[in-house]
C-alpha cells in the first residue's frame, strides 16, 4: 500500500459544487464503484445504517423539481428568492450524479443515534475519496431540505430512515480548488 497515495487522495478531496461541473457524464460503472466503498466504512455492531438514493439521467431533473418545490412550499412569501428557487431546480441536472444520503435506525435501536450518524458520515467520506481518485468533485449538501422528513420520503426511504442531505458529484470544469486548514497545534492534547 502506498502511504503517499492514500494521503494524497485525502488531502486532494475538495468540495466542488454542481455549477462548476462540466457536461461530461459519470459512467454507471464508476458510480457503482464509488457506492461500493460506502459499505466498507467502520460500523459498530455491523449495523450498516447507510441508505442511498441514486439520481442519474432524468432522475436528476425530478430531484431538482422536488428541491425547488420544497423550498417554495416552506419559505414565507416575503423571504422567497427566485434566484434560489432557480438554482435548486437546476443544480441536480448540472451534476453527473446525485446521491441522497440516509441513516436507518433498527427497530431495537441497539446503538445510540450518534453512532449511526457518525458511521454514515464515514461512508460518505469513503465515497468522496474514491470520487477524488476518479477526478470527480463532490459536494455534500445538507441544510433544511436535506434534513426534512419529506426529503427522506421523496428518496423512497422508510419511516425509520432519516435523510442527511445529498452528495452531488461531477467532473469539474474549473481548476481543482485548493483549501486551507488550521494547524492542529491548539486542537490536540497529548498525554504522555
Ligand atoms: C455533513 C456536511 C454537510 C455539509 N453541508 C453543506 C451545505 O449544506 N452547504 C455547503 O455549502 N457546504 C456543505 N458542506 C461542505 C463544506 O462546506 C465543505 O466541506 C467545506 O467548505 C470545506 O471544503 P472542502 O470540502 O473542499 O475541504 C457540508 C459538509 C459536511 C461534512
21 phi and psi, to 5 degrees?
Answer: -95, 150
Q: Which stretches of the chain drop beneath a pLDDT of 70? A: none
Q: Is the CB of 81 under 6 A from ligand 1?
A: no
pTM for the predicted model, two decimal places: 0.97
Which residue has a Cα nearest atom 30 of ligand 1?
Answer: 140
17 CA to centre of ligand 1 in angstroms: 10
Residue with cell 466498507: 40
The answer to whether the beta carbons of residues 166 and 99 sit under 8 Å apart is yes
Which residue has a Cα nearest atom 29 of ligand 1?
Answer: 140
pLDDT in tens, 143-162: 999 999 999 999 999 999 99
Strand order in the sheet with 97-104: 50-55, 97-104, 161-170, 137-141
139 CA to centre of ligand 1 in angstroms: 7
Angle at 95 between CA 9 and CA 63, to 5 degrees: 125
* β-pair partners for 98: 55, 168
- Quick one: pLDDT at residue 113? 98
- Quick one: pLDDT at residue 134? 98
Q: Is the CB of 82 under 6 A from ligand 1?
A: no
Q: Is the CB of 14 under 6 A from ligand 1?
A: yes
- Quick one: pLDDT at residue 89? 98
Q: Which domains does the chain have, with CATH numbers?
A: 16-170 (3.40.109.10)
pLDDT in tens, 80-109: 999 999 999 999 999 999 999 999 999 999
Q: Is the CB of 157 under 6 A from ligand 1?
A: no
- Quick one: pLDDT at residue 80? 98
Residues 6+ positions from 9 with CB-CB distance below 8 Å: 129, 132, 133
Q: Which of 15, 145, 178 to mutate to test the pocket of ligand 1 (most atoms within 8 A of CB)?
A: 15
Q: Is the CB of 144 under 6 A from ligand 1?
A: no
- Quick one: pLDDT at residue 127? 99
Q: Is the CB of 178 under 6 A from ligand 1?
A: no
Amino acid at each position: 500500500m502506498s502511504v503517499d497515495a492514500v494521503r494524497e487522495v485525502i488531502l486532494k478531496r475538495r468540495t466542488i459544487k454542481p455549477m462548476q461541473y462540466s457536461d461530461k457524464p459519470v459512467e454507471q460503472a464508476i458510480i457503482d464503484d464509488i457506492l461500493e466503498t460506502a459499505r466498507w466504512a467502520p460500523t459498530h455492531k455491523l449495523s450498516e445504517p447507510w441508505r442511498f438514493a441514486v439520481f442519474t439521467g432524468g432522475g436528476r431533473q425530478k430531484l431538482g423539481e422536488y428541491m425547488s418545490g420544497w423550498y417554495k412550499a416552506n419559505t414565507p412569501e416575503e423571504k422567497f428568492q427566485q434566484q434560489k428557487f432557480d438554482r435548486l431546480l437546476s443544480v441536480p441536472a448540472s451534476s453527473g450524479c446525485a446521491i441522497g444520503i440516509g441513516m436507518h435506525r433498527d427497530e431495537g435501536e441497539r446503538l445510540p443515534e450518534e453512532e449511526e450518524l457518525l458511521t454514515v458520515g464515514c461512508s460518505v467520506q469513503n465515497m468522496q475519496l474514491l470520487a477524488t481518485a476518479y477526478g470527480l468533485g463532490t459536494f455534500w449538501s445538507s441544510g433544511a431540505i436535506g434534513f426534512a422528513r419529506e426529503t427522506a420520503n421523496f428518496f423512497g426511504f422508510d419511516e425509520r430512515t432519516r435523510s442527511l442531505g445529498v452528495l452531488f458529484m461531477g467532473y469539474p470544469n474549473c481548476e481543482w480548488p485548493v483549501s486551507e486548514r488550521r494547524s492542529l497545534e491548539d486542537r490536540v492534547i497529548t498525554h504522555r
